[in-house]
Structure 1
Amino acid sequence: MNIFDFFHKRGIDTVDASFYRKIEEWKSWYAGNVRNFSFYRAYTGRGTYKRCKRKSMGMAKKLSEDIADLLLNERVKITIADENTEEFVQNILRDNKFYVLGNDYQERKAYTGTVAYIPYLYDMEVRDDGEVLSGKIGINYCSASNIFPVSWNNGAVTECVFTFLHTVNRKKYVQVQYHKLENGQYVIENTVLENMQGSREGKELSKEEWMKLKPFKTLTERIETGSSVPQYVIDRLNITNNADFDGSNPMGVAIFANAIDTLKKLDIEFDSYSSEFELGRKRIFVAPELLSNDDGSPAFDPDDCVFYKLPDDYDKLKEGLIHEINMDLRADEHSKAINDDLNYLSLKCGFGTERYRFDSSGVKTATEVISENSDMYRMLKKHEIILEDVLKELIQIIIRLGVVLGNDLNQDSEITIDFDDSIIEDKSAERQQDRQDVSMGVMPLAEYRAKWYGETEEEAAANLPEQNAVLDDDVKIPTTKNNSGGQKSKVNS
């Protein structure tokens, strides 16, 4: 049973199937195995063709890695104002390997356009009246091929179907999880399908059938969340989806979706560059009598591709017994073409120019600090708008599930996401400037501490020493309350 046949049978309307073929195309570029491109036929000159594998620069993979590392890395800091709530959330994130898988799924988001995070409860102990006594919080991760929006408004997906593939005894099963609204509250319905991938024998399993399979033994057919907000978060790149011409598709597009022609051109140039060295290697043609020693043994390694036999009628007196051929390599022309297209690719994907450079050792990535008015700075800030909301929504769902499990958590606590801007800003210079601002009294010390110590302003104010705050080894700054209740700083030398 094909997944779209299942949707049709259930009366579920989702994004057109043609868009998911587009996602598969983007995935093929990421994997470096593109249909009707990565493999091609070359004429041998003898009436036959040979199958060739085109060498690839793998730039779709490189672009995805780079944007993922810039958006969500080990320096991104999540802070929750309530200490108890923060400790609880951080434990859940660590238990679910979010700081590893989060970066992994940012990379998946880059080459598929969309990912989802779906917190859930498991190992629950429930009373007869439905009250949850205990349990654990898990996070399912889902990429674009397994996300099927059902209803949406202004780009926000309000109902959605997710699919999860499982293999039991070499047989494939798909869990279909439908998050939908009923009477203003979310309900989650689970179904298991057998033999997806278009098999005619595929069918929908009953609950009794799927409970015999290990991955689905504890799977509940229907869950009433009791919440008016969804128990999933959709994360996508902040790029307008122009792959669907009606403009209503809420799914995202790959970071290189509009640069496929440039990726093709780069791989053609790189393949030609490689062939230039293969075809341009030195060749030495020798007279037949030099191929054997006096005892008849070969004078040269028969597997050596440098030496070739001259024809018997070769003019030895005029040309000599050995004739050397050195091909001229067009290395500079290839390098220039590749670098030009790397600049164009980088520009089309939002990194600006000069992000990548090709030389004898391969593709290098620029690591210098970039300015705030650059294309890359604006691109990152644009993507962070969506990612910040996504992380906050994910944390709020975790907190709500924690409350369901009976934990004393503050659902209204302020959540702060501090992204890593070290590649954009010179942190040392910025910190020194902030120190000077504090010294001049134009920046409150609590604001400085909140910014550089990853605290909320309330925590920073509470953590300030009563008498003196040592900002630097040489400078002590006493702090006093002004009439408005803020901090007032003065330098004592």
Structure 2
Amino acid sequence: MVNQLTNITDDPRISIASDEYERINMAKRYYKDDLGRVKYINSYGNHMSRDLISVNVTKMAARRLASIIFNEQCTITVGDDATNNQIAKVLADNDFFNQYEEKLEEGIALGGGAIRPYVEDNRIKLAWVNASQFYPLHSNTNEIDEAAIASQTTVTEGNMNVYYTLLEFHEWNPDGTYKITNELYRSENINTVGIQVPLNTLDEYKNLQPQVTLTGLTKPLFAYFKAPGANNKQLDSPLGLGLVDNSKKIIDAINQTHDSYYWEVKMGQRRVAVPAEMLKPGTTFGNDEVDEQRPPVFDPEENVFVQMYGDEEMKITDLTSPIRNDQYQATMNFFLEEFENAIGLSQGTFTSTPSGVQTATEVVTNNSMTYQTRSSYLTQVSKQIKGLIIAILELMECGGLFDDGKARWSGDPEGVDINIDFADGVFTDKTTQFTQDSQAVTMGVMPKKRFLMRNFSLDEEQADQWLAELNEEQPEQDSNSFEEMNNPNGDDDVGAD
């Protein structure tokens, strides 16, 4: 039988509802700012269309969150020195710390994403999988340990485009072995997966085995990132939700407001109505234009003059309409504040000016809101990175994947100590931290040296220098204070009778 698929979710091994990927594709369109065209009827009754003048708040918010969650200052340490050096080399070879922030941005926007380590030319490489390419094989669990990964390639054959889709199935056999199945599909329609063809149809897959079975693995060879929060669109789905899924109406309102304001500005440009005779063009004889006795008196490059017919007493009239800047600004800020609340960011993150004067308590509270959101994402990010490290160590143990047949590492991947420092200095509630640390120093539970290093970003040598300088500046204290010297009897009122 010829295996043919219209959609990837038609494969019986995949039990995720196709609605989930319609939702993800919608989020992808918003992330790409591909929102279609606006249809309208002009003043003459003609049906017209134009681009929506939108604001890509999905991209803005995903970028802001990714930058405060993860950056190149993050450090990862794994096990002993030898293991740590091996993992560090793999991550460096794949430019992990720069790539991860970009891919995290996509994951936040679309609700998830995966990293798939693999061996190529005796080196471990990382494949980045976005939410639209990742298909869990089971929908009744939050722990995804079996999945299909789709990769599409476009090839020109003759005078048309042909679309090839590689499906890579990761499954566990009943005996505990790990099975990877590779299937290639060909289609002449971008909207269908097509008919299964041999892997060697494309040169890039000619050395790929249809099926590989690995032994000794304890975790899947992929690491999935799920955006925090429950999936309220599909309750039994293990996939996460993106920024758009519960904010679509707010984002549409923001775009509509911005689009309307753009046209308000365009319609508000200076317009002057003048008699038609003042704009009458010259007469043409052959290829030469000859001015009449009354040539045009306005610059031909101007587009702000409207000619009026039939009124002999017509005078130059200003038709310019005022722009409702304040009303649009207030409306835009209103919807942006709703968007900030919907995605868990502090008020004022995107609004141009905060509403009113905020007290210190309100500022700390707002910062804490973003900090809490960041903490929720960090939990999922930490889980993915640790899963990736384990998957890399599992691959290193499989000597058969390397040309010399030798394993690159041996041990228990799950027993390795993995520590991730996300460099909290990128986003920290500084006011709260400084106050709490000051109290800790006063109580004697935090060394002054640690206080300086933590709150002033000093290294150990700089902190020691600060402390030494402070000790030199401290005046020598006599046994009696200044007050005791002037008031040896301790009376409150020295001059009292």
Give the superposition deviation at 1:433: 7.9
CA distance in 2, matches of 1:200, 1:68: 33
SS at 1:422's partner residue? helix
CA–CA distance in structure 1, aligned partners of residues 29 and 396 of structure 2: 40
* 1:25 corresponds to 2:23: no
Counterpart selection for 1:113 from 111, 115, 119 = 111
Deviation (angstroms), 1:379: 1.1
Kept in 1: contact 2:14–2:135 (CA 8 A): no
Of residues 142, 164, 172 in structure 2, which corresponds to 1:181? 172
Match of 2:64 among 50, 62, 66: 66
Unaligned runs of 5+ in 1: 124-134, 360-367, 455-459, 478-492
Q: CA deviation at 1:158?
A: 2.0
In structure 2, what is the Cα distance between the partners aligned to 1:375 and 1:341?
Answer: 18
Q: What does the per-residue CA deviation read over 1:68-119, in whole Å, with 9 as the maximum and x for residues that have no partner? A: 2222222222222422222211221122232232122211112211101111
Native 8 Å contact 1:351 1:379 kept in 2: yes
Structure-2 separation of matches of 1:53 and 1:408: 55
Equivalences for 1:298-317 in 2 at 5 Å? 298-315=296-313
SS of 2:137's equivalent?
Answer: strand
Aligned equivalents of 1:427, 1:107: Cα separation in 2: 25
Write the deviation string for residues 198-232 of structure 1: whole angstroms up to 9, x where unpaired.
678932113xxx22522102212212221131111
8 A Cα contact 1:284 1:324, kept in partner:
yes
DSSP-derived class of the 2:113 partner? strand
Aligned counterparts, 1:92-491, within 5 A: 92-123=90-121, 135-151=122-138, 154-169=141-156, 170-182=161-173, 183-195=175-187, 197=189, 202-206=194-198, 210-226=199-215, 227-244=217-234, 247-288=235-276, 290-291=278-279, 295-315=293-313, 321-358=315-352, 374-405=368-399, 406-408=407-409, 411=413, 412-425=415-428, 442-443=445-446, 471-475=463-467
- Provide the rounded CA distance (Å) in 2 between the counterparts of 1:446 and 1:305: 69
Deviation at 1:357, TM superposition (A): 1.4
Q: 1:217 and 1:369 mapped to 2: Cα distance?
A: 59
Aligned-partner SS, 1:158: coil
Query: SS of the counterpart of 1:46?
Result: coil
Computing the radius of gyration from Cα coordinates, the structure with the larger value is 2
Distance of aligned partners of 1:47 and 1:327 in 2 relative to their CA distance in 1, 3 Å threshold: closer
| Whole-angstrom CA distance in 2 between matches of 1:423 and 1:197 | 46
Q: TM-score, normalised on structure 1?
A: 0.78
CA pair 439-397 structure 1, distance change in 2 beyond 3 A:
farther
Deviations 1:322-367 (A, max 9, x none): 22233121110011000011000110011132221148xxxxxxxx
Within a 5 Å distance, the mapping from 1:5-84 to structure 2 comes to 8=10, 11-34=12-35, 38-84=36-82
Aligned partner of 1:87 in structure 2 is 85
Q: Equivalents in 1 of 2:453, 2:272: separation in Å?
A: 72
Is the Cα contact below 8 Å between 2:368 and 2:429 reproduced in 1?
A: no
Shift of 1:298: 2.5
Alignment partners' CA distance in 1, 2:279 and 2:449: 85
Residues in 2 aligned to 1:172 and 1:445: alpha-carbon distance in whole angstroms: 64
1:304 Cα deviation from its structure 2 partner:
1.6
Identity %: 22
SS of the residue 1:475 aligns to? helix
**How far off its partner does 1:285 sit?**
2.2
Shift of 1:41: 2.0
Matched residue count: 435
1:471/1:301 CA distance change after superposition, 3 Å: closer
2:154 partner letter:
T
- Cα distance 1:174–1:58, how it changes in 2: closer, same or farther (>3 A)? same
1:370/1:141 Cα in 2 relative to 1: closer, same or farther (>3 Å)? Answer: farther
8 Å CA contact 1:372, 1:378 repeated in 2: no
Residue 273 of structure 1 deviates from its aligned partner by 0.6
Cα 1:90–1:152 change in 2 (3 A) is: farther
Give the secondary structure class of the aligned counterpart of 2:351: strand
TM-superposed CA distance for 1:308, in Å, is 2.3
Q: Deviations over 1:27-72 (max 9, x none)?
A: 11112223xxx42322223332111222101111111211222222
Checking the alignment, whether the CA contact within 8 Å between 2:8 and 2:193 is kept in structure 1 is: no
Shift of 1:121: 1.5
CA distance in 2, matches of 1:16, 1:395: 30
